[in-house]
Structure formats: structure tokens, C-alpha cells
Amino acid sequence: MTPDYSFEAAARAQGYLRIAGVDEVGRGPLAGPVTAAAVVLDPARIPEGLNDSKKLTKRRREALYEQILALADVSVAHASVEEIDAHNILRASHIAMVRAIQGLATPPDYVLIDGNMIPRGLSLPAETIVKGDARSVSISAASIMAKIRRDCVMLSLAQQHPGYGWDTNMGYGSKSHMSALQNLGVTPHHRRSFRPIHNILWQE
């Protein structure tokens, strides 16, 4: 499966001109925000090699990140750990998506969303695409932008809280991260509503 412009072309055939692809990253980690990106590509200047960020090497992601920034309208937004704990991770990811869409320099008139749910609060015409980051180039671009920007957040947090390995595990529950939680405790950046963190706090 290789992403293409067919979903965007179908929307343009219906008269829509600014089609945003939206994706999020960071639903699974035990720490850090959930991050979403919205990208409106110029159909005449689509970077080559766009794909699901998970299928790209770090070097290739970074190269595409720079191209997307230069050629597209991009907005990246986060939902905080506090919002994740207050709502739930799904709702928080949708909050981040809506923020990303609202942050575009020029509002889109149609939105392609990775997954199978349209975020609550989105008033624009929208379409969900399961595995959209591997099917739509706009969503692929959004997955790359969200991945790199969230990684940057986790690299910064890793410097503030050494020992948890966030510079490599990005907040996911790796063996070293779980060991650090037992030895160093829970930080303000951990998601207290997630079971492993909740269980540690309950034991204290």
C-alpha cells in the first residue's frame, strides 16, 4: 500500500480546494503529550516519498519534514498530560487534531482524518480514512510532522528528567522506562490515568 492523492482528488472533484490531512501520534506512551498535525499540500508540489512516518527511516522523515514545511501549510498542536488525564486519550487526541486544524494559516474547506472517528467540535466537512497515513499523501505528511514535533518535545523532557530514556523510547513503556519508574518514581509528565502509572501511584 502506497499513499497517493486519490482521496484529495475526489474531494477536489466535489469542489473543495483546500484539503487538510490530519493525523496524531503519541496515544500509547506513558508520558508526554499527544500531538496532532494538519497539512494542506499544494497539489503541484507534493514531496516525493511521503508515507506513514513509522515506515520511514529517521533520516528520511527529517528530510521530508523540511520539504513539507517549505511546500505546504502546516499546523501542529498538542493536548497535555493534564488534558489526557482529565478526558481520556481518545478525546485528548481529538482535541489536538481540532487545534491543529484551527492553527492552519488559511482554514481548509475539507478534512481527511486518519482513523474512523471525526473529532467532536470539528464543524468542517470531513472524511475518515482507516490507515490513512498509508493511503493519503496529506495524512502521510501530517503523520511525519506530528511524529517529529512530538519527538522534539520528548527529547527536551528527557534532558529535564534524565534516567527514563525518553530520548529513545519517546515515553513508551519500554523495559528501561518501567525500571526507571520503579527506581525514580513518577514525574509530572507521566499520564496518571494510564494503568501502569496509576498502579505505581496506588502502591505508594
> Of 137, 193, 120, which Cα lies nearest the Cα of 8?
137
Are residues 76 and 104 in contact, defined by beta-carbon separation less than 8 angstroms?
A: no
Are residues 172 and 30 in contact, defined by beta-carbon separation less than 8 angstroms?
A: yes
> Of 151, 114, 149, which Cα lies nearest the Cα of 134?
114
Are residues 39 and 24 in contact, defined by beta-carbon separation less than 8 angstroms?
A: no
pLDDT of the residue at 204 = 59
Q: Give dist(CA 129, CA 24) in Å, integer.
A: 13
Query: How would residue 197 be classed by pLDDT, with cut points 50, 70 and 90?
Result: very high
Would you say 8 is a known binding-site residue? Answer: no
Would you say 85 is a known binding-site residue? Answer: no
Provide, rounded to the nearest whole percent, the portion of the chain with pLDDT above 70. 100
Cα distances (angstroms) measured from residue 72 to each of 67, 85, 195:
8, 33, 39
> Per residue in 68-103, pLDDT tens?
999 999 999 999 999 999 999 999 999 999 999 999
Domain positions in the chain are: 6-149
Burial of 199 (0-12, 13-18, 19+ CB in 10 A): exposed
Q: Give dist(CA 179, CA 164) in Å, integer.
A: 8
- Mean pLDDT over residues 148-166, rounded? 98
> Per residue in 172-191, pLDDT tens?
999 999 999 999 999 999 99
Share the mean pLDDT of the chain: 97
> Per residue in 112-134, pLDDT tens?
999 999 999 999 999 999 999 99
Cα distances (angstroms) measured from residue 32 to each of 119, 165, 169, 172:
21, 13, 11, 9
- Mean pLDDT over residues 192-196, rounded? 96
Would you say 114 is a known binding-site residue? Answer: yes
Does the pLDDT value for residue 1 go beyond 90? no
Largest CA distance in the chain: 59
**What is the pTM assigned to this prediction?**
0.96
Q: Give dist(CA 111, CA 137) in Å, integer.
A: 13
Cell of 78: 498538542
pLDDT of the residue at 125 = 98
Does the pLDDT value for residue 139 go beyond 90? yes
Q: Match domain 6-149 to its CATH number in 3.30.450.20, 3.30.420.10, 3.10.180.10, 1.20.58.340.
A: 3.30.420.10
> Per residue in 13-57, pLDDT tens?
999 999 999 999 999 999 999 999 999 999 999 999 999 999 999
